[in-house]
Structures are given as C-alpha cells and as structure tokens.
Amino acid sequence: MRLIRFVEEFGRHAVRGDAIIGKSAVHLRLLVLTILAGMSVYSCRAQDLAPRAYIITPVHWNAITLTWSFYDGSIDLNGLPVSGTGTYSVPIFSYYHSFSFFGRSANVAASLPYAVGNFQGTALGAGAHLYRSGLLDSAFRFSVNLKGAPAMPAQEWVKWKQKVLLGASLRVVAPTGQYDGTKLVNWGANRWGFKPEFGCSKRWGKWVLDGALGVWFFTTNPEFFSRNMFFSGTNSQSQSPIGSFEGHLSYDVKQQRLWFSFDGNFWYGGTTSLNGVPNPLTRQTNSRIGGTVAVPITKHQSLKFSYSDGDYIRFGGNYQQVSAAWQYSWLGRPN
C-alpha cells in the first residue's frame, strides 16, 4: 500500500548520510505526529465486555449511566511499522429504556462518549508526544427477548424467576465522532458499524451464565488519511467483518443488585484494505479477560466497577482497562 511504501522509503533514506538522516528524522517526526493527532479508540470500545446484557427488566424501566473508563497500553495503527502507546480516559453518558415489543421484553440504549488522552509514538527512531480530546462515535442498541421473558410490568417481574433466556440485538455505531481526513487515525471512524448479535442467559440459583455471538460489519471510510502533506488525493479504507464471542459467569450476593462476574471474550477477522488492497497484517485474533462487580447504593442508585486486560493479542491494541459507573434508575413512561 502507498502509505506503508512511504514509511519504508523514509527508512531507506535514513541510512544515506547525516544530512539526510536529520531531514528524514524531521519528516518521520511529522509522520508520527500525524498518526497520533487524534487516536481512535473505536476498536477498544467495540470489544468491551458486557455481562448480563440479556437479563431483562420490567416494562418502562429507565436508567441513566455515567461511566468513566481509563485505557493504558499499545494502540492499533493499521499494520504500519510505527509503535504507539496511549493513556486516555473516556467518559460516557448512556440512557436505557425497556418496553414491550409484540409482547416480548425489549429495550433500547444510547451512549455518547468523549475522550481525553496522551499518546506517544515511535517510527524508525523518531518519537513524538501529543495530547488530544474530542467526541467519539455515538452508539445505539436495540435488544429483544426471543424466549423465556415476555414483557412484564413491575408487579409481575418481581415474582418472575429466570430460567433460560434467549435474545437478539442490533448495535449501531454512528460516525458522529471527531474526524479529520488529513490525519491517519482519529477519535471517530468516519463510517458506520453494525453488530447483529444472539445472546443467551441461564440461571442456577444465585449463579448466572451468559454468552453472546455476534458479527461486526462496517461501511467504507472514503476519506482515510487524505489531502494531507503526504498525499494530495483521497484514500478509501474498508474492513472485513469481525466475528466475536463473549461469556460471563456471575454470582448474586444479594437480590440480583449486588453481584460480581468473571468475563472473557474472543474475536477474529477485521482485515483492513486501502483502496481495495487488503493488508493481511491487520487480521485480528484477540481475546480479553476481566471482572465486574455491581454494588447498590440506594433504591435508585448503584455503582459498577470493572477491569480487563489483553489475554491473547495477535494484532491490535494490547491495553488494560479500568471502568467505574454510576447509575440512576426509575420506573415510568417517558414524558
């Protein structure tokens, strides 16, 4: 691909003499700054661990959630010979609402994230540091129960006992994040993402085992690293689907509000192509493991804490994540 050939050309120039080394070092530093000037954490958020995603709530249950996530580790740089690390925080505002969908329990959720971070990168000995902040792509999710949980008012829900739940969902990531086509990667992805998913949940007393199988599909980014100091034209980047699986084993300590879980996932695929030419180095075969604990505070408020780390990383960001969330929930129709 043109971008990789460009970086390799700098590598050849950098060994031809002191004067050229100095000039190439300046250009390489500019390249690294260009790469870091808006790091994308899309791939990190796309594979977050979400225990109990298919456990139902009563009809007209609402919740707002404020989440703070901290990431620390390496960064996905699209297969380029550039090493990068970052430490960044992602505050997220989310809203959840449940309702009846043809008699089945269903819910919708929307989230708006913002990111603040510091990044470091190195290419052929040239390094750079950069601070960035901006909006990430917003996400929307629709989920419906297929078996095991009809839509129920709160009076019936409190008497209901979970056995086996089967559900399906569709998650959509919209290109609303900060994006600049002159930068190699950004907070936003400048494309749509769609993830249909099938999930199940099984309860044995206080133990809950749940899992989900899904596939990410992406539209093409028509302005990938375009019209900048290196390229006068435009580039289009596409990405093949990513298959994913996640599983969670959790335990209720008290009335389903105080619980903890052991979490893990695995995903495969996602080879990227630049102007129709695939880069096999970008195929992902990764997994993460972690844990989550939910703690009630009052009748309407609760806290949730989670931690995860890369378990097996073939390609992509190998990072640690710590999250803390405050949730306020209530019952009633939206006005």
**What's residue 275's pLDDT?**
87
- Backbone φ and ψ for 284, nearest 5 degrees, come out as -100, 140
What parts of the chain have a pLDDT lower than 70?
A: 1-46, 75-84, 121-128, 184-185, 228-231, 255-256, 315-317, 334-335
Check which CATH number belongs to the domain holding 86 and give it: 2.40.128.130
pLDDT tens profile 141-175? 999 999 998 999 999 998 999 999 999 999 999 99
Count helices and strands (H / E) in the chain: 4, 16
CA distance 326 to 238: 36
**What's residue 4's pLDDT?**
44
- Whole-model pTM: value is 0.84
Q: Which amino acid is at 155?
A: Q
Beta strand residue intervals within 175-283, DSSP E: 193-204, 207-218, 237-239, 242-254, 258-269, 272-274, 277-279
Q: Which amino acid is at 247?
A: G
**What's residue 131's pLDDT?**
77
Q: How many domains does the chain have?
A: 1
**What's residue 3's pLDDT?**
46
CA distance 133 to 215: 29
Q: Residue 256: which of 305, 203, 211, 184 has the closest Cα? A: 203
Q: Which domain holds residue 131?
A: 2-331
The answer to whether the beta carbons of residues 104 and 145 sit under 8 Å apart is yes
Dihedral (CA of 174, 139, 111, 106) sign = positive
